[in-house]
Amino acid sequence: MAVLETIIPIFLIIIFGYIIHRNGFLNDRFILDMNKFIFLFPLPTLIFTGIIKSDIKDVYLSHILSVILPTFALIIFSFLVGWILKLRAGRLGTFMQTSFHGNVSYIGLAVLFYLLGEKGLKQGSILIGLMILLNNSMAIAVLSWSSRRERNIMKAFLSIIKNPVIIATFLGLIVLYTGITIPKVILRGMVILSNIALPMALIMIGASIAVENIKRSFRFSFVAAILKLLVLPGFAALYSFVLHIPFKDIIPVFILLATPTATTSYIMAHEIGGDPELASNTVTLSTIISPITFILWANIAGV
């Protein structure tokens, strides 16, 4: 019941964003500007404050490997599935990257915080920085390999380094390790700013959903969504089972791996010779299905 009481309100806010956009309360320009604002300021601040409040001892090597190993396993598996489906070139690369590239910044962080509270935020912040670096790097590598295009690759990799969340992660780790004290008045101001991030991010996700285009390439986007929402966290469950790690010890991992496909996968597909339509449809479809799979994995993990 607690899981339902947490997950359903989150996606009600996403639906609310979709409805007010469809009814003209939010225009496309506002959505674009607000997404940029959240990405540049409240979200990195939320990650930073989450990390400096955390205990690095709470994140074990087993947690990090439970993110990295399933991701690489899914990359290989998605290639085989895509090849069987006769996807080639940029479309194959798009299929692969949408099957592992999750929306950990917005939806993942929101589910962690509202489901597990401050403890989830502390545990998840470091993992989110790692996953953004891993997911974006591998997405660029997969798309570049599949499309055989070299244009914009270096620019895309540089954009990862300049990603505000990555910068916030490294700064947070520096403060955490060095014990630098941030004045309370500044920290409280940062907390106020960070409180904007999750509610507005959920509304913007809903406002960005394009249901009317979902029929296009439905078969491939549905398979990619299933790989993302079920198979990827399933690999983490297998990893946990083999190493005898209790599921409840890696709940943040399950939540972050079970997030729907990231909206940035569409941008990358557009920039590096992929299939933007397939990416967009997978984002929409995985977002619609994800409440069900979140509840499933939360129950399996014993939340």
pLDDT on residue 151: 55
Average pLDDT over residues 214-240: 93
Output the average pLDDT for the chain.
88
Number of folded domains in the chain? 1
Please say if the pLDDT value at position 249 is more than 80.
yes
Q: What is the pLDDT of residue 82?
A: 97
Output the domain CATH number for residue 145.
1.20.1530.20
Q: Which residues pair with 261 in a beta bridge?
A: 102
Of 66, 70, 50, give the one whose Cα is nearest residue 110.
50
Distance CA 156, CA 135 (A): 13
Query: Higher confidence at residue 164 or residue 96?
Result: 96
pLDDT given at position 150: 53
Task: Report residue 160's pLDDT band, with 50, 70 and 90 as the boundaries.
Answer: confident
* Structure confidence by residue, pLDDT tens digits, 177-219: 888 889 999 999 999 999 998 999 899 889 888 787 777 779 9
Q: Write out the residue range of the structural domain in which residue 192 sits.
A: 2-300
Cα torsion 286, 259, 189, 180 to 10°: value is: -150
Once rounded to an integer, what is the mean pLDDT over residues 245-273? 88
> For the CA atoms of 31, 36, 39, 40, what is the dihedral angle to 10 degrees?
-150
Residue 174: count other Cβ atoms within 10 Å of its Cβ: 12
Distance (Å, whole) CA 264 – CA 59: 27
The stretch 9-20 carries a mean pLDDT of: 94
Task: Give the pLDDT confidence score for residue 54 in this predicted structure.
Answer: 77
pLDDT one-digit tens code per residue, 64-88 = 899 999 999 999 999 999 999 999 8
Q: Tell me, what amino acid is at 5?
A: E
CA 255 to chain centre: 10
